[in-house]
Structure 1
Amino acid sequence: MTAITRNLPWFVKNLGVSIVGQHCYSSLVENLEFGDVACIKYSLSKGLGVGIVIGGSIMKVPQLLLIISARSARGISLTAYALETLAYAITLAYSYRNEFPFSTYGENLFLTIQNAFITLLIIHYPSSHQLTRAPSSALRVASAAFIMFLLSAAFVYLPKSALTPLQLATLPLSLFSKFPQIRQNHRSKSTGQLSAFAVVAQIGGCLARLFTTATEVGDLLVSAGFALALALNIILGVQMWIYWGQDEKDDYGKVPIAFSTPVDEKQRQWSPAPSPVPTSAKVEVVVPQSPRASGGRKWARKVD
């Protein structure tokens, strides 16, 4: 078997060496030493990292398509996405400047770009069922894009020592980025246009990132950020499960209209008709007589 694994095509060998390194490639692939726990753990971490980077490149695409197809950002918190984008950008700059392996943070590059577009779409499209936009929508989008550009330039030229407190700040940023969305879901009893695929993918990505960070990087700040993000994404996942298929309660500003209901003739209550006179009853009829007749006496006749 080793005769085959040691003579694999050059492009397969180069790819394997670029991912797991020469030592682990020779140990696991060429010599088939499956008892090398360190290389197995390292190779598993590398495989998960590459998978997360590839998955991160399309993770927010369903969310983008949902907003564009519905032409509405109903149920999506602008504050949540703006803070989440900032946290992704800080982690990206911190990891790049500290020369971490790209497989341990590469998805942050794609998530930052995708989140930036989603944030601009939330600003552009209305958050309610109405499709009318304010005349200043284009100005707000342009202003937000300019601010994002300035922040990106700042992260590139900031000294490495200044990025450490910023990375520490991603912990409260993660909390504040998810809390508005969690609160909005709870209030409306709906998740609106929030993508279930993105939420589930983030849960799986955070779990994998905890393993890869502990294996390859060992940075406690980065690990703490992923642990907090995992807990908050699990809360969002539970909300997706509870509120699945429920429409948003969007009754703010609506005035109930009272309609007059015509009275049904069948329901109209009439006074009861007089009961007929029983045949056994005796009715006395008095017939007045002229005072001239019979000396002016009045005669009475009984009718049985």
Structure 2
Amino acid sequence: MTAITQNFPWFIREPAVAIVGEKCYHSLVEELNVGDVECLKYALSKGLGVGIVIGGSIMKVPQVLIILRARSARGLSFTAYVLETLSYAITLVYSFRNDFPFSTYGENFFLTLQNAIITVLIAYFPSPSLRRAKTNSVAAFSTFLATLAGAFTLYYLPSTSLALLQLATTPLSVLSKFPQIMTNHRARSTGQLSAFAVISQVAGCLARLFTTVTETGDPLLFLAFATALALNCVLGAQMWMYWGQDADTKGIDIGKIPPSEKDKSWARPAQVDITVQPASPVAPGPRYGSPTPSGRRWARKVD
């Protein structure tokens, strides 16, 4: 068997060496040493890292498509996405500046881009999170410019300031998820929130905890991913609780459904049919208004 593994073609060998390194490739592939625990953990971490980066490149694409198809960002919190994008960008720049392997943070590059697009879409399309006005294009363009300015600012920050910001990503994770969690709770619905994105984030955070411990050992990154995992689990629980309660998908606020056009009896006064029984015939007297034999005068009121 080793005669085969030691003679793999270059297009298999070189990518594998680039991922796990020459030492672990020789041990695990060429020598088939499955007892090398250290290399097994490293190879698993690298494999997870590459998978997360690939998954991160499409994680938020379903969310973008949902917004574009519905032409609405109903149920999505603008504040939540701004803070989440900032958190992703800080981790991306911090990891890049510290020369961490791309497999340990690469998905943050794609998630930052996708989140920035979603944030601009929330600003452009009608959303309960924003004031409805004829300034959607202006709001979207302003959001885009603010995103670019934030990216340049983070890139040129001193290392000490960047480390402090990385520490701040933990409370940022809480603040970024909390508005979305509260929006879902108030509406008893997750609106246009993508289930695929939420489930992928839970799986990604779990894998990132393992890769962070194995490859970087950075406690700041570990704390940030652990906090994000807990909050994404809350969003996942809300998706399960409120599943199927999104019957109203046309932008009408939940809980304020107008009455049907067919039933507007609430707007009209009640009508009551009154039946008047005909009066009993009375024998006429000698002439109109003359006394009857009983001595009474009978009069008839004409309506």
Structure 2 equivalent of residue 145 of structure 1: 144
2:138 equivalent to 1:163? no
Deviation (angstroms), 1:260: 2.5
Task: Describe the SS at the equivalent of 2:72.
Answer: coil
- Output the CA distance in 1 between the equivalents of 2:94 and 2:272: 75
> C-alpha separation between the residues in 2 aligned to 1:254 and 1:245?
17
Equivalent position amino acid for 1:235 in 2: V
Q: CA-to-partner distance for each residue in 1:229-248, whole Å, 9 max, x for gaps?
A: 00000000000000011136
Residues 264-293 of structure 1, C-alpha deviation per residue, up to 9 Å, x if partnerless? Answer: 76xx7888x99xxxxxxxxxxxxx8xxxxx
Q: Is the 8 A contact 1:76 1:181 kept in 2?
A: yes
Q: Which residue of 1 aligns with 2:211?
A: 212
> What is the RMSD of the two structures over their aligned residues, measured on CA atoms?
2.5
Letter in 2 for 1:85: T
Q: Which residue of 1 aligns with 2:198?
A: 199
Map of 1:298 onto structure 2 = none
Letter in 1 for 2:87: A
TM-score calculated relative to the size of structure 2: 0.84
Aligned residue in 1 for 2:28: 28
Q: 1:269 to 1:178 in 2, by over 3 A?
A: farther
Aligned partners of 1:98, 1:84: CA distance in 2, in Å? 21
Q: Single out whichever of 174-183 and 138-147 deviates more from structure 2.
A: 138-147
Structure 2 counterpart SS, 1:121: helix
Partner residue, 2:119: 119
Once the two structures are TM-superposed, the CA of residue 217 in structure 1 deviates from its matched residue by 0.4
Distance 1:139 1:101 in 2: 39
Q: What are the superposed Cα offsets for residues 187-245 of structure 1, whole Å, 9 maximum, x if unpaired?
A: 00000000000000000000000000000000000000000000000000000000011
Does the CA contact (< 8 Å) of 1:124 and 1:133 recur in 2? no
Per the alignment, residue 296 of structure 1 pairs with: none
Q: How far, CA to CA, are the matches of 1:232 and 1:121 in structure 2?
A: 23
In 2: Cα distance, 1:105 partner to 1:158 partner:
19
Residues 1-304 of structure 1 mapped to structure 2, 5 A cutoff: 1-128=1-128, 134-247=133-246, 250=253, 258-260=266-268, 263=271
Instruction: Provide structure 2 residue ranges, at least 5 long, that are not aligned to the other structure.
Output: 281-292, 294-303
Whole-angstrom CA distance in 1 between matches of 2:236 and 2:78: 19
CA contact (8 A) 2:94 2:163 kept: yes
Q: Is the 8 A contact 1:76 1:192 kept in 2?
A: yes
CA contact (8 A) 2:48 2:211 kept: yes
2:112 alignment partner AA: T
Judged with a 3 Å threshold, the aligned counterparts in structure 2 of structure 1 residues 269 and 195 are, in CA distance, closer, same or farther, namely: farther
Task: Give identity over the alignment, percent.
Answer: 60
Letter in 2 for 1:192: G
Structure of greater Rg = 1
Hey, which bits of structure 1, 4+ residues long, moved more than 4 A? 251-257, 261-265, 268-271
Report the AA paired with residue 250 of structure 1: D
SS of the residue 2:267 aligns to: coil
The count of residues paired between Structure 1 and Structure 2 equals 271
CA distance in 2, matches of 1:7, 1:106: 31
2:80 touches 2:175 (CA, 8 Å); kept in 1?
yes
Cα distance in 2 between the residues matched to 1:201 and 1:150: 29
Shift of 1:259: 2.7
